[in-house]
Amino acid sequence: MSVGPIRRFSTAALSAALAPVVLSAIARCGQQTPVLKVTTRLIQVHVTARDSHGQPVADLERGDFTLLDEGRPQPITFFAAERAQTPDSTTLPPLPPNTFSNRLEKLAGATSVTAILFDGLNTPMTDQAYARRQIVRFLEELPPNQKVALYALGRGLVVLQDFTSDSHALIEALKTYQGELSPEKETAVDRAAPPEVVRFHGWLEELKLNLIEHYKRDRALRTIRSLVAIANHLERVPGRKNLIWVSGSFPVWISRDSVPLPNKPQPGPQRFRPEVERAARALNNANLAVYPVDARGLMAPAEYSPERSSISRDSKLSDWSGFQTMEILADRTGGAAFFNTNDLTRALHEALEDSRITYVLGYAPSHDSWDGRFREIKVRVNRPGVRLRYRHGYFAQPEEPSEEWYRSAVLGAAMWSPVDATGLGLTVRVAPRSKRSWDLELSLDPRNVSLLPGQGFWTGKLDVWLVQLGRADKLLDAVSHIADLRLNDPVFASVMRANKLVLMERLELKRRTELVRVLVRDVGSGTLGSVSIPVDRVRTGDGSD
């Protein structure tokens, strides 16, 4: 769906990214001299294949596929078959005291994950109860060891239960969520009322429509940012990642032809352009297949009324434009849309079925036009009767802009996210100097950092934010700076050998700080990592917490 950030060429990076990337060949661990830097863009397409009986096809090879970009055949330069397996008992070792990380320990050994977004912001309360029952039914049938997370969207994104295979914990978490009541309620006035009452009611209705229009724009903005937060959270998770979005409406605009380029935002409707552009990048960088599921079940055709004796077979459903949005979103990400059905559990199970076997096809596009326009992808297989599901194209977005407004928008949104961004591997060790003063050791994965070779040095830039939040996420303080990296060849080789790049920061805590959020963004690529540190979990060394 989009062009992704600068990344390095490695099997892990190729498996983790769905978007086009810039590949930088770097010196191997232990080498003292850098190798030639090579730059190209890579597109990845994740393909599921099913036979005529709907069963996954698991024995396809690279030579069985043909891939076209805008009708032009493309050599498949990378191929992998990812099979869902039962996770082993291996878990990452626990973190030492006062150490916090954005690694997802609970996903050790998992080859595919599924996140369910229960959307209370965009779903009428009357439909939420039905959708809730369907999700519970699905969770009751959850296969053993399947890793599932449950999120809710109210006035913001809420983590009901992060990844677990415990269906009971997921069900109990869902039962505690009460949802959101939409203010878009229609009212009526008695037609026999006095004219002045009717006029006054008309004025109120006009005022209400203006408020509802504002509310719709607000809903769209909150929805887009929540999708970005989920995508950023899942970016480093290996294998296939599914997002099942259960909602009563989908207020996310995605063009069929192009995604808006990240120009400087303007007042009015234009302000959504950067948000849509960042959402396109995030969904693809995370290799996230979206499965929009309409929570409203069966719907009547638009022409239906009790007085009609018949309805045309060609009559469209009442929310046809909304269904088109669902289909476009699924088409752009490699998922599937489900609407006008009372069997929501079938949609949920189909997303899991798509995880059983996934083929990853990578290619370097022969074009050099990165103008934000949509480019169509076609994948064919030389086996009759096999149906393929994959994203049918991508938005050829240029690299992320480096302007201040874009930097502030990306990090500002991440600052409020309830889930950590994982694109840049980050671990933070807190060394308290006192109850109100900390030294922070930031350990970064150098494979996620754009380090460019020069005359005996490797250089790069990191954007570092230290944010302090109080009760109810009240912003108490935020400081930021750009860290200029300049590593000579021996230091660079040592960093790559240890797989650890360290920054030191000093933080003075405000009196009412409850949560510290550390954000680090690679300036060259836009790759983002964040870590949340609850203050009450930091041991001060004097026997108090």
Contact 395, 258 (CB under 8 A): yes
Q: Is the pLDDT of residue 404 over 70?
A: yes
Q: Say whether both 377 and 495 belong to one domain.
A: no
> If DSSP codes are grouped into helix, strand and coil, which group holds residue 404?
helix
Q: What are the start-end ranges of the H helices in 141-176?
A: 167-175
More confident position, 144 or 8: 144
Q: Is the pLDDT of residue 50 over 90?
A: yes
Q: Say whether both 117 and 77 belong to one domain.
A: no
How many structural domains is the chain composed of?
3
Q: Say whether both 479 and 331 belong to one domain.
A: no
pTM for the model: 0.78
89 found inside a domain: no
Q: Is the pLDDT of residue 234 over 80?
A: yes
Q: Give DSSP secondary structure letters for 428-464.
A: EEEEEEETTEEEEEEEE-GGGS--EE-SSEEEEEEEE
Q: Say whether both 192 and 72 belong to one domain.
A: no
271 found inside a domain: yes
Contact 243, 289 (CB under 8 A): yes
Look up the CATH number of the domain holding residue 340: 3.40.50.410
Task: Tell the burial category of 385 from Cβ atoms under 10 Å away from its Cβ (0-12, 13-18, 19+).
Answer: exposed
Per-residue pLDDT tens over the stretch 358-402: 999 999 999 988 888 889 999 999 999 999 999 888 888 888 777
Q: Say whether both 378 and 454 belong to one domain.
A: no
Q: Say whether both 294 and 421 belong to one domain.
A: no
Q: Say whether both 230 and 339 belong to one domain.
A: yes
Based on C-alpha coordinates, what's the Rg of the chain?
25
91 found inside a domain: no
Question: Given this model, what pLDDT does residue 90 score?
Answer: 53
Look up the CATH number of the domain holding residue 518: 2.60.40.2150
More confident position, 38 or 239: 239
Q: Terminal CA-to-CA distance of the chain, rounded, Å?
A: 46
439 found inside a domain: yes
More confident position, 129 or 116: 116
Average pLDDT of span 249-275: 60
Q: Which of 506, 454, 451 shows the shortest CA–CA distance to 484? A: 451
Integer Cα distance of 233 and 236 in angstroms:
8
- How many CB atoms within 10 Å of residue 353? 14
Q: Which residues contact 5 (CB under 8 A, 6 or more apart)?
A: 19, 21, 22, 281, 285, 399, 400, 423, 522, 525, 526, 527
Q: What are phi and psi of 530, to 5 degrees?
A: -145, 150
Handedness of CA 33, 38, 39, 43 (dihedral sign): negative
154 found inside a domain: yes
Contact 316, 359 (CB under 8 A): no
> If DSSP codes are grouped into helix, strand and coil, which group holds residue 165?
coil
Q: Say whether both 247 and 375 belong to one domain.
A: no
64 found inside a domain: yes
Contact 352, 81 (CB under 8 A): no
Beta bridge partner(s), residue 101: 427
How far is C-alpha 508 from the chain's CA centre? Answer: 32
Q: Say whether both 431 and 376 belong to one domain.
A: no
Beta bridge partner(s), residue 464: 481, 520
- How many CB atoms within 10 Å of residue 312? 8
Contact 332, 16 (CB under 8 A): no
Per-residue pLDDT tens over the stretch 302-361: 444 444 444 444 445 455 566 778 888 888 888 988 887 777 787 778 877 887 889 999
92 found inside a domain: no
Contact 275, 251 (CB under 8 A): no
Per-residue pLDDT tens over the stretch 504-535: 999 999 999 999 999 999 998 889 999 999 99
Q: Say whether both 277 and 191 belong to one domain.
A: yes
> If DSSP codes are grouped into helix, strand and coil, which group holds residue 131?
helix
Q: Is the pLDDT of residue 275 over 60?
A: yes
Integer Cα distance of 271 and 306 in angstroms:
43
How far is C-alpha 251 from the chain's CA centre? Answer: 16
Integer Cα distance of 50 and 390 in angstroms:
12
Model confidence band, residue 209 (pLDDT cutoffs 50, 70, 90): very low
CA distances from 290 to 237, 320, 431 (A): 16, 19, 41
Residue 295's domain spans which residues? Answer: 100-306+314-345
Integer Cα distance of 351 and 344 in angstroms:
11
34 found inside a domain: yes
Q: Say whether both 260 and 112 belong to one domain.
A: yes
CA distances from 392 to 309, 324, 461, 537 (A): 41, 15, 35, 46
Average pLDDT of span 193-214: 47
Q: Say whether both 151 and 289 belong to one domain.
A: yes
